[in-house]
Amino acid sequence: MSSGTLVICGHGMVAQRLLEHLCEGGHPFSRVVVLGAESEPAYNRVLLSSVLAGDATLDQLRLRDDAWFDANGVERYYGDPVTTIDRTYQQIITAAGRELAYDTLVLATGARPAPLGIPGDDLEGVLTFRDLRDTHQLIELSQRHGRAVVIGGGFLGLEAAEGLRCRGMAVTVLHRNPHLLNRQLDTTGSKLLAASLMQRGLSIRTGVRPCALLGKRRVRAVQLDDSNLVSTDLVITAAGITPNAGLAITAGLDCGRGIRVSRQLRTSDPAIFALGECCEIDGQTFGLVDPGYEQARVLAQVLKGSDQGAVFRSTTQPTRLKISGIPIFSCGQTRPDENTESIVWQDHGQNRYCRLLLRDGRLVGSVLFGETRDGPWYAEQIHKGNDLTPWRATLAFGRDYCEQAA
Ligand SMILES: Cc1cc2nc3c(=O)[nH]c(=O)nc-3n(C[C@H](O)[C@H](O)[C@H](O)COP(=O)(O)OP(=O)(O)OC[C@H]3O[C@@H](n4cnc5c(N)ncnc54)[C@H](O)[C@@H]3O)c2cc1C
């Protein structure tokens, strides 16, 4: 079991979940300190899309108030990023020069938008969508400009695009892959999503690659590799994320794309742990909040000593998203191959779609669009790996039909 001072570097959604688990039923530390680079305590980052679209207020982002931290004895410092980890003296140093000794250090520094790496990506008007500051800036600029280009048709790019459209901007989404949200959806699902978004007024161009951002001081246009130009006032880059591992790299911790940790979230230094979007486990990094929450649960058990055998298992994590109000769910394999058969059900009237992928009678993947209530049940079937042949005729209609038919 750990003891002494626990220092948590980064106060985002996953660090807060760790604190919740640690404070539940008491923890072994004499002092718990959390340091955040942003100027406020952890908030619900997922809701930033709703704030941008004008559907949520800043108050709704709050996860815990000061009273909760005070009652649980959590010391906190904001707006002061950790700049150095001194592993020899087991202390961290912040940008403001604060020095803090630790017995156990947890790195929960998250990730940042991946740079485009093309000429012009440093022009004025080229923005990201990651935190509250970005969100305020986008809202403010949407009131002064008419056109925006979003680079990236993953969930973040689509949320940014839809938010700016709701603010009255004419928005074009550029996506490298021929299909939107290609990690989570199959071809039909992507097409349905594109059609719904275009119906709302977004302009979508897939299978295109921006090769330069043009303008003297401010961005004026995006140059595509097919020689076309898209004129714009703003560019929002949402083409993937990069784990914030710089601090760990400088401290000499083993890092790949992220900070390499064991399944117990331990780095190459036994006194230092990492979790959330900054970490890498078995070569895998993470871009959604649920795996981070599971890591927080495991790490709390390890630190409390309540279950020394606790390990993070990167099982097939379901993805549940709401792209501008359209529910989407996927789990496991999303595209058919020569070893799978598909069961497809589509309701054109209600814009609902379901594809189930079976291998040897067992469910290996599901994609749901428009209606996702049965998603967790399909995920359970994927994890259990049961032979579903007896339910085949009713499988696409969900749990209730299958159980009635049984
Ligand atoms: C707009 C938006 C919408 C999203 N929607 C969804 C969704 O619908 N579903 C979903 O699953 N996921 C969604 N995500 C992703 C989700 O928010 C992340 O997976 C989650 O926030 C990761 O948590 P984290 O604690 O690892 O990192 P973060 O929440 O990014 O927190 C890390 C914190 O550490 C701070 N930090 C970094 N470096 C330092 C340093 N040196 N010193 C001190 N502090 C530091 C950062 O400033 C940040 O505050 C969304 C993300 C965004 C931006």
Backbone phi and psi for residue 377, each to the nearest 5 degrees, phi listed first: -70, -40
**How do the domains of the chain map onto residue ranges?**
5-112+241-304, 126-237, 319-405
Give the chain's length: 406
Separation of CA 204 and ligand 1 centre (Å): 26
Instruction: State the pLDDT at residue 1.
Output: 61
pLDDT tens digits, residue range 251-309?
A: 999 999 999 999 999 999 999 999 999 999 999 999 999 899 999 999 999 999 887 78
List all residues 6 or more positions away from 24 whose beta carbon is below 8 Å from its beta carbon.
none
Place of tokens 């679209």: 53
Confidence tier at 406 by pLDDT (50, 70, 90): low
CA torsion 184-189-192-193 (nearest 10°) is -10
**Residue from 17, 40, 45, 50 whose mutation best tests the ligand 1 pocket (most atoms within 8 A of CB):** 45
Residue nearest to atom 53 of ligand 1 (CA): 130
| Domains 126-237 and 319-405 agree in fold | no
Tokens at 171, concatenated? 């928005």
Instruction: State the pLDDT at residue 393.
Output: 87
3-class DSSP state for residue 160? helix
Residue 314 pLDDT > 80, yes or no? no
Strands 229-231 and 170-175: unpaired
Percent of the chain with pLDDT over 70: 99
Residue 114 CB less than 6 A away from ligand 1: no
Residue nearest to atom 37 of ligand 1 (CA): 109
List all residues 6 or more positions away from 218 whose beta carbon is below 8 Å from its beta carbon.
123, 124, 125, 233
Residue 49 CB less than 6 A away from ligand 1: yes
Cα distance between residue 380 and residue 359, in whole Å:
16
Residue 13 CB less than 6 A away from ligand 1: yes
HEC profile of 252-286: CCCECCCEEECCCCECCCCCEEECHHHEEECCECC
Q: What mean pLDDT is predicted for residues 339-344?
A: 92
CATH number for 319-405: choose from 3.30.390.30, 3.30.1360.120, 3.40.50.1220, 3.30.160.110.
Answer: 3.30.390.30
Residue 158 CB less than 6 A away from ligand 1: no
pLDDT tens digits, residue range 156-214?
A: 999 999 999 999 999 999 999 999 998 889 999 999 999 999 999 999 999 999 999 99
pLDDT tens digits, residue range 74-131?
A: 999 999 999 999 999 999 999 999 999 999 999 999 999 999 999 999 999 999 999 9
- Among 212, 108, 114, 123, smallest CA distance to 154 is for 114
The DSSP annotation for 38-101 comes to: SSSS-B-GGGHHHHHHTSS-GGGGB---HHHHHHTTEEEEES--EEEEETTTTEEEETT--EEE
pLDDT tens digits, residue range 347-366?
A: 888 889 999 999 999 999 99
CATH number for 126-237: choose from 3.40.190.10, 3.30.70.3420, 3.50.50.60, 1.10.1740.10.
Answer: 3.50.50.60
CATH 3.50.50.60 fits 5-112+241-304, yes or no: yes
Residue 12 CB less than 6 A away from ligand 1: yes
Residue nearest to atom 12 of ligand 1 (CA): 288
Cα distance between residue 301 and residue 290, in whole Å:
17
Residue 317 pLDDT > 80, yes or no? no
